[in-house]
Amino acid sequence: MDWFLSEFRDRPLSSAMLDRIRADLAAARDTGLKVIGRFLYNSGPEDAPDAPLARVLAHLDQLRPVLRENSDVLTLLEAGFVGNWGE
């Protein structure tokens, strides 16, 4: 499951975005699915901008409680946040 964060390259994640991630994970739980998650700021082209490191770290701080709350449905998170493939 991919979550695109392009609109948040220069600002904190909104409550609505965090709620959407929670809802996606709750829907997976309700249907008995497990999730491989990935967060990314762009889907190409290769030179599309990512968020600066400080913003990525701030987003990780925001995501931490959401991911912990839903660890039962997260099989893994792909390493990423950088590049159009989350690499």
> Mind listing the pLDDT tens digit for each residue in 37-82?
999 887 766 777 788 899 999 999 999 999 999 999 999 998 777 7
| Structural domain total, the chain | 1
What is the pLDDT, as a whole number, of residue 48? 72
Q: Is 87 inside any structural domain? A: no
For residue 87, is pLDDT > 80? no
- DSSP letter for each residue of 11-69: SPPPHHHHHHHHHHHHHHHHHT--EEEEEES--S-TT-----HHHHHHHHHHHHHHHHH
86 inside domain? no
| Residue 32 maps to a domain | yes
Taking only the tens place, the pLDDT of each residue in 6-29 is 899 999 999 999 999 999 999 999
Q: Is residue 84 part of a domain?
A: no
* Enclosing domain of residue 73: 2-77
**pLDDT tens track for 71-85:** 999 999 987 777 665
pTM value is 0.87
